[in-house]
Structure 1
Amino acid sequence: MDGLIVVFLILSLLFFGLSLRSFYQFLVYKQDLKKDVKQQTYLFQLLEKGSSKKERLLSKLFQYADDFSHIGQRINFSSENHDVRKWLMQSGYPYKLNVERLQGLKIFMAIIGLILGGISLMLQLPFSELTVIIYPLLGYAGVIYWIKSKAKNRQEELSFQLPDFLDTMSVTLQAGVGLDQALRDIVPYFDGPVREEFGRFIQELDVGVPRREAYQMLLSRNESKEFQILIKSLLQGERLGIPISQTFRQQAEEMRKLKKESIKEKAAKASPKVTLITTFIVLPSSLILIGGLMVMNMFSQNQNIFQLFQN
């Protein structure tokens, strides 16, 4: 009997010690998990884009467009769902818009245009009969034009920011830092599309998305020529084993050349516009001014122009 008690006590102490050991391992694992989550959350907070009062106000206002989303998806002239999704991806989903909300927004703006046209008709304003038709069409088409311009401007800004980003990445990679860690260190210090796109790329890698698939997502979300060249070069370099730092350096040089050529092209296109303005605005105005002074001089018997105004 005494032996059974001793065995029971020994087993009890053994299991108690094992439970203490397991509890200690749990506490250590919990602390490590907290540190990891805190680090990831801190990075996400750095990458998260802040919103101004204007953006928050417009986001709340655009929520009323959800009631018209079904109508907008049926009346999809020049705004098919796949086109709208493409524009939203390229524009970075401004004001928390999605496909359904944007489809409803164009109907919402068309109704506002109809109300304004009806008010102008009741007040009998000039051309009020036409405004009842024109204002709803402008509201409908204005939303489509607005999201297209947002997408275009964002892609242009992405191309403009890339050379500086690539120079910084090249220097960091040449110092021996890995690609993922370099992105984590550098991306939070940039603003705009570069920060949003590469920040999302980092988050996709953290949740287990394969690197090649994450690269393909970057390509599908953006149509910037320079950005497409960069991502395709990274894919090719990963497949062929080319050093990443060399890829970033070469792409930075190429993009600066493309940027200079783009500036020269815009300057060349501006010259005919200046000539057009000079020909049709400045020259006729100068001729009218000179002719007017000559006529005034003829009727004033060659008097001084200041004496003419004194008389």
Structure 2
Amino acid sequence: MTLSYPLIILLGLFSMVCVGLAVWGYHLYSKPTEVADEDFIPVVPKKKQDQTFILHRITERIGKIFFASVNEALPEERKAGIRRRIEAAGAPEGMNLDRYIRRKIGEVVLYTVVSAYFLASGSVIIALIALAFIGLTDLQLYQAAKKRQDDVQTQLPDFLDVLAVTVGAGLNFRQALSRVCDAMPGVLADEFRVALRQMDMGTSRREAFVQLRKRNNNEALGKFVTALQQAEELGAPLADALQTISSDMRREDAQYLRQKAQKLNPRVTGVTAATMLPGLILLIGGGLILGSGISIGG
């Protein structure tokens, strides 16, 4: 008995979904719980577990074979661009340039072979889906960078309020910034700690904040750095300047949230239509067929 081409495609898609669910289930099973118990007693871990997704671990091991030759062939400009993307994403899972290169090599090799296998079997759609997995690491970096910048946008107004109060209490800017970073941990505090370490190593305040702006593709943070540099050049009181910048950032944050809510409306409409429309079509079509008295068997 020979199977038809659409049935082969459906079986292939079903098998890929089953494999993906199995891999994701293993990832959730091996991932430690993030919910704290009431009677939680801290225990010193014996060994740090690798939290890297299992597919990424496989591709990194495959890419390790070809790493040396590919690393030498990559130009320095390309490597610098990869470093900037990793920094913008906050280096998820301890990502660095070498791990990124190994992972990308493994993804290209593994998913190209899988795609070629399905293409030779006649499953073009499954081959294209497997080929799309080559961009899995880039998608992860994009999502991490977007989430990181959303966190920066959310934390910036409160951070600047506390910084203005601390500077107004009599501390100099670097001491106040260090104190606020310790009091308000988060993504923004980590970025300012990097700038403080650069200033401790001899980098000027202006250059450290310019690099801070380059690491983060956030409009509000860029405006804060520009306003702070202008206030320093004009000799304006730092506490008053921080208060003014904080008020502006709150207005920017409210506008950003409104824009984000407006972008969600089409998505909600699309999800609603995709889930309800098939059911409505079946309901209306079935009612028409049953009401017309058509003999389906005939």
TM-score above 0.5: yes
2:231 partner SS? helix
- The question of whether the paired residues in 2 share the 8 Å contact of 1:107 and 1:140 is answered with no
The 1:152–1:196 alpha-carbon spacing in structure 2 relative to 1, beyond 3 Å, is same
Whether the aligned pair in 2 keeps the contact of 1:110 and 1:138 (CA below 8 Å) is no
Do the aligned residues in 2 keep the contact of 1:105 with 1:143 (CA within 8 Å)?
yes
Correspondences of 1:228-307 after superposition (within 5 Å) = 228-275=222-269, 282=276, 285-286=279-280, 289=283
Question: Are the equivalent residues in 1 in contact too, given 2:164–2:239 (CA < 8 A)?
Answer: yes
Structure 2 CA distance for partners of 1:265 and 1:85, relative to 1, 3 Å: same
Deviation at 1:204, TM superposition (A): 1.6
Task: Determine the structure 2 residue equivalent to 1:106.
Answer: 104
Name the counterpart of 2:167: 173
Whether the 8 Å CA contact 1:73–1:81 is kept in 2: the answer is no
Shift of 1:196: 1.3
Partner of 1:127: 123
Is 2:193 the partner of 1:195? no
Does residue 148 (structure 1) correspond to residue 121 (structure 2)? The answer is no
Give the length in aligned residue pairs. 244
Query: Residues 207 and 164 of structure 1: is their aligned pair in 2 closer, same or farther, counting only changes over 3 Å?
Result: same
Structure 1 residues 181 and 62: alpha-carbon distance in aligned structure 2, compared to 1, 3 A threshold: farther
The question of 1:84 aligning with 2:82 is answered yes
SS at match of 2:107: helix
Alignment match, 1:227: 221
Percent identity, aligned pairs only, is: 26
Larger Cα-atom Rg = 1
Structure 1 residue 224 displacement after superposition: 0.7
- Residue 270 of structure 1 deviates from its aligned partner by 3.6
Deviations 1:234-254 (A, max 9, x none): 111111111222222222211
Q: Do the aligned partners of 1:106 and 1:139 also contact (CA within 8 Å) in 2? A: no
Letter aligned with residue 127 of structure 1: S
**Per-residue deviation, residues 16-57 of structure 1 (Å, max 9, x unmatched):** xxxxxxxxxxxxxxxxxxxxxxxxxxxxxxxxxxxx745478
Shift of 1:286: 4.8
What's the secondary structure of 2:83's corresponding residue?
Answer: helix
Using the alignment, how far apart are the partners of 1:62 and 1:217 within structure 2? Answer: 32
Deviates more, 1:89-98 or 1:219-228: 89-98
1:291 deviation in Å?
7.0
Unaligned segments of structure 1, at least 5 residues: 1-51, 300-311
> What TM-score, normalized by structure 1, do the two folds share?
0.63
Q: What SS is found at the alignment partner of 1:80?
A: helix
1:111 Cα shift? 3.0
Return the offset for 1:94: 2.7
Alignment partners' CA distance in 1, 2:238 and 2:152: 20
CA 1:278–1:153: 2 relative to 1, 3 Å: closer
Q: Secondary structure at the match of 1:85?
A: helix
TM-score normalised by length of structure 2: 0.66
Structure 2 stretches lacking a partner, 5+ long: 1-47, 294-298
Give the conservation status (yes or no) of the 8 Å contact 1:173–1:245: yes
- Structure 2 CA distance for partners of 1:224 and 1:69, relative to 1, 3 Å: farther
The CA RMSD measured in Å over matched residues stands at 3.8
Per-residue Cα deviation, 1:88-143 (whole angstroms, up to 9, x for no partner): 12112233332233122111123333565688799x8x938953x753x3342212
Partner of 1:215: 209
| Greater Cα offset, 177-186 or 187-196 | 187-196
CA pair 81-267 structure 1, distance change in 2 beyond 3 A = same
Which moves more between the two structures, 268-277 or 215-224? 268-277
